[in-house]
Structure 1
Amino acid sequence: MRRASARLVNAVVLVALVVSGCTQAVRGFPVAGSVITRGEVDTGFIRGTDGGPIDQLAATAITDVEDFWEQAFPATFNQPWRPVSGGIYSVDTADPAAKPPPCTEKASDVEGNAFYCPSADAIAWDRAALLPVLQDRFGDTAVVIVLAHEMGHAVQRRMGITPEAERRDPQRYPTILTEAMADCFAGSFLKWVNDGKAEHLDIGADTLDSALGALVDFRDPVGTSPNDRSAHGNAFDRVSAFQDGYQQGAKFCAGMTVQNRAFTQQSFTTADDRDRGGNLPFDEMLTSITPDLNTYFQALVTTSGGTWAQPRATTTEQEPDCSGDQGPVAFCPADKAVEIEVEEDLPELHARIGDYATGVLLASRYGLAAMAALNKDLRGEDAAATALCLAGAYTNEVFTRQQGFGLSPGDLDEAVQVLLAYDYAARDAQGGSAIEPGFKRVEVFRGGVLEGSKPCGLT
């Protein structure tokens, strides 16, 4: 997060705490996801295949994705689907003698990548250093999603979104938009599979977290400008596009434009923020965000007709146990306090994911405090969802600020990562009724980010 002004930080120290592919892969968090396949698909149509398990999975994915577009393309565009005509290529990038696929000069050009070649209408992947790595880290679903994304680019070519069209009108078809559309198409395909409509793939809803994990892994490096010609989107934007496709279908994806699609990716605005990687030290984060949370939720409660009493923000060396197991940050209704564990789990999350992992957990517990001020039930899944949504609403507030304490590039990605890996921010005031899976947690949080407190059910 960005620092507030020095005077503000100095002031809050006194009052806040009672106790003192196709883009560069960036590591996310592994979430295993298995895929059941019904019968074997012949890998013979894949050029360069070794017929092994990875290409067997890829062949199954490609076959079902083509079947999906045989149905979805006419329904979306009122035109028949034209299958990929230039070939499907599996490249062993570990073999110096391997033949290069279209759009490359040598096999090593494919290393660590999967791509669609529009000039040849072909899809290629690295079966040595990409697909097995994704499978190992995220499970089979990640392989399926990557190939569905590349097929999404083939869909765009059939829509008329070609490299020539992009060069003629880059403002209409920026890379970040076309990549979001491909992510969205992949989401619509996975929903079709989860609805039991695929002939070969059987992917349960419990594997959705692995799909999002792969998208997090392929986000742009923090600080990449959204106007960069190679920009694919940060984790929040990519996950948002995938979830939109999953929830709203291919027709929604096809309608994406620069006018109706907002992106949260940002470049660094100060050298200081860039040098810190957009992260405040743990202690400084606590002393900066707690009074800001108080100010935001005071205004929200007052506007909603309630009376706000500032919770005492207290630190503890052990995980809070004042009200069930809420994790390293807890709202204690009886004491009207927010307890923050500062010795182990929370500092570790802060160091491993980033400062806004801490921010999301704190914001959700202040959300419970706001609910208590409005005499809302703090128990059950609905309460957990409201608290998480309010954390998203607070995120919307700090993201849209032009000055002072606000989000840095990478903060929204950190929110996605902590929500996928942990359910702390989605527990009720008794430490139970957590929202599962991570896909659903991200969806609830995203509602607050995009719409503020309106969808949170606070009033």
Structure 2
Amino acid sequence: MRRRHLARTVLAAISVALVAACSTTLAGKPVSIFADPFRVAGMPATDGPTGLRPDAREPSREVTGTDGGDDDELARQAISDIEEFWEGSYSGVFDGQFTPVEALYSWDANGFDSISFCDSDTYGLVNAGFCHDDNTIGWDRGELVPSLRRAHGEMGVAMVLAHEYGHAVQFQAGLVDEDTPTLVAEQQADCMAGAYMRWVAEDNSPRFTLSTGEGLNNVLAAVISFRDPLLNEDDPEVGVDEHGSAFERLSAFQFGFTDGIAACATIDMREIGQRRGDLPVLLEADESGDWEVSETSVRAIVDAMDIVFAPANPPELTFEPVDCADARPSPPVSFCPATNTIAVELDELAELGAPPHLDDPMGLAAGDNTAYSVLVSRYVQAIQQERGGVALDNAEAALRTACLTGVATTKLSKPVTTPDGNTVALTAGDLDEAVSGILTNGLAASDVNGESVPSGFSRIDAFRVGVLGDADRCFKRFD
């Protein structure tokens, strides 16, 4: 989000800092197959084993250049499993029969292997990819696979390879050609990876398991980590090899997980454009995307919410602790229904909105909008109370809050000028910071007591419903 004074421009972004926290499962009644807080896209929300099965079926593929180590064995198992998925799924959606890629390649980007991939030297190539020229797939076992495994588990590795195999399927099915925009091809492949992960989560895989709780949360974190870097509109890299923001790539992945392979074929520039709407993609030329969390910025955000929602009885804002008769604190921001008050613990909120670590440029998104999205989530609880007819302390309330936080975020895609002369507006990167926070701490997707549902997938899905919808849709879906 950015903020402007009338006299001069000061630019900033709503962002979200990342903290580790636990979510508490709440009581609540089911509503629909996709809105049920205790289900994930129609599947039970569960925790359990995730990763390679102890009794995994033997891999069916050989790898050129392998060192025979555990990382290559994991990748070989993943490719074998992904091919088994496509063997059973391809002809149900596309014409003809599935044909596996010609060969698999492994290299060590830190070494001086004699292996080349797609006519390229693999020294320093920390990547995985599909080579259309010779219909092959390869990966770096030196840096990429171990780092993915450490950060996101074995299914993080499988997710990346499922994405790359999605590119092979695209060409085989005729979904893309050399003129297809990279953005379309990449998000179709994200979608296909989501369809494969659904197959694993449904216990169809003979090699892997995936829980719909923490297991799937780790896969989503891996998707976020491969988002495009945040660019200003005058950066020379703009439009070059565009893959999409974390919000866009998560959306594509969730389409595949929820709706299957057929949904992936519908992703094109028109569909992506509809999803983007007026949401910012690039920072303005002189824009930083950061707005330091302070009493001034918090007041400006609340003032902007007063304007865009225009409640008959706006909530009061305080920076002091509040004794609340009907809700527990949910620091760093709490809403008290009894007094219609939002209480902010400023130091903790500022810590939540800290900028990202420079030594982790491709980790989860961090910044001021993890903080501001939590603030907004407490404001929309006041909106829920004023509307009436809904509980504020159950699982449906948690997801409704996430949804309405998405609605509020989109409303700020158009600048809002507050009475004190600030102009508050969404900036590029804000959505990524919000979904990262929703995945890791769940505060912007929690009920009035700060409790959320265990599935990050469901929390992010609810937020996206709001970003792409309106308040009425949130109340209807999470009643």
TM-score tier, shorter chain, comes to 0.7 to 0.9
In structure 2, the residue corresponding to 1:6 is in which secondary structure? coil
Structure 2 equivalent of residue 234 of structure 1: 245
Which of 325, 333, 336 is 2:340 aligned to?
336
State the partner residue of 2:199.
Answer: 192
- Runs of 4+ in structure 1 deviating by more than 6 angstroms, as ranges, are 7-10, 27-33, 224-227, 318-322
Matched, 1:418 2:404: no
Q: CA deviation at 1:145?
A: 0.3
Partner of 1:35: 51
Counterpart of 1:218 (choices 200, 203, 226) is 226
Q: 1:135: how far off?
A: 0.6
Q: 1:379 to 1:230 in 2, by over 3 A?
A: same
User: Normalising by the residue count of structure 2, what TM-score does the alignment of the two structures yield?
Assistant: 0.81
Identical columns (%): 31
- Which amino acid counterpart does residue 250 of structure 2 have in structure 1? V
The correspondence of residues 88-167 of structure 1 with structure 2, limited to 5 A, is 88-104=104-120, 106-110=121-125, 112-161=126-175, 164=178, 166=179
Pair 1:242–1:401, CA change in 2 (3 A) = farther
Instruction: State the alpha-carbon separation in 1 of the partners of residues 84 and 232 from structure 2.
Output: 36
Contact 1:320 1:341 in 2 (8 A): no
> How far off is 1:159 after superposition?
2.6
Measure the CA separation in 1 of the matches of 2:89 and 2:316. 54
Distance 1:118 1:36 in 2: 29
State yes or no: 1:260 paired with 2:271: yes
**Distance in structure 2 (CA, Å) of the matches to 1:138 and 1:320:** 40
| Equivalence map 1:35-434=2 (5 Å) | 35-37=51-53, 38-39=55-56, 41-42=58-59, 45-85=62-102, 87-104=103-120, 106-110=121-125, 112-161=126-175, 164=178, 166=179, 173-206=180-213, 207-223=215-231, 228-262=239-273, 263=276, 264=279, 266-271=281-286, 273=287, 276=288, 278-283=289-294, 284-298=296-310, 308-316=312-320, 323-343=327-347, 345-352=348-355, 353-375=366-388, 376-400=390-414, 404-432=423-451, 434=452
Measured against aligned partners, the alpha-carbon deviations of 1:313-354 in whole angstroms (never above 9, x if no partner) come to 1113x79877313221111111211001112x2111111421
Structure 2 residue runs of 5 or longer lacking an equivalent are 11-16, 22-46, 356-365, 418-422
RMSD value over aligned CA atoms?
2.7
Q: CA deviation at 1:162?
A: 5.3
Letter in 1 for 2:473: P
C-alpha distance in 1 between matches for 2:133 and 2:387: 59
Instruction: Give the aligned residue type for 2:210.
Output: I
> CA 1:108/1:319 → structure 2, altered by over 3 Å: closer, same or farther?
farther
Structure 2: how far apart are the matches of 1:351 and 1:81? 48
Quote the offset at 1:383 in angstroms. 1.4
What is the letter of the counterpart of residue 472 of structure 2? K
Task: Label 1:28 to 1:325 Cα distance change in 2 as closer, same or farther (>3 A).
Answer: closer
Q: Could you tell me whether the CA contact under 8 Å between 1:396 and 1:452 is conserved in 2? A: no
Q: SS in structure 2 opposite 1:116?
A: strand
> Residue 417 of structure 1 aligns to which amino acid in structure 2?
S
What SS is found at the alignment partner of 1:220?
coil
| Cα offset, 1:6, TM superposition | 2.5
Of stretches 255-264 and 331-340 in structure 1, the one that deviates more from structure 2 is 255-264
* Structure in which a larger fraction of residues adopt helix: 1
SS at match of 1:108: coil
Q: 1:457 to 1:288 in 2, by over 3 A?
A: same
**Secondary structure of the equivalent of 2:113?**
coil
What displacement does 1:212 show? 1.2
Q: What number of residue pairs does the alignment pair up? A: 418
Question: Does the CA contact (< 8 Å) of 1:330 and 1:429 recur in 2?
Answer: yes
Partner amino acid, structure 1, of 2:378: R
Write the deviation string for residues 264-286 of structure 1: whole angstroms up to 9, x where unpaired: 56112241x1xx2x011112431
The letter for the 2-side match of 1:136 is R
For the Cα contact (< 8 Å) 1:58–1:144, is it kept in 2? yes
In structure 1, what is the Cα distance between the partners aligned to 2:407 and 2:225? Answer: 25
Q: Partner amino acid for 1:94?
A: N
1:4 and 1:359 map into 2 onto residues whose CA distance is 17
CA separation of 1:59 and 1:431: change in aligned 2, threshold 3 A: same
Equivalent AA in structure 2 for residue 342 of structure 1: L
Residue aligned with 1:405, SS: strand
* Matched residue type, 2:456: G
Higher relative contact order (CA 8 A, sep 6+): 2
Q: Is the 8 A contact 2:66 2:106 kept in 1?
A: yes
Shift of 1:48: 1.1
Q: Give the C-alpha shift of residue 447 in structure 1.
A: 0.6
State the 1:205 CA deviation: 1.2
Counterparts in 2 of 1:97 and 1:258: CA distance versus 1, 3 Å:
closer
Secondary structure of 2:448 counterpart: coil
TM-score, normalising length: structure 1: 0.84
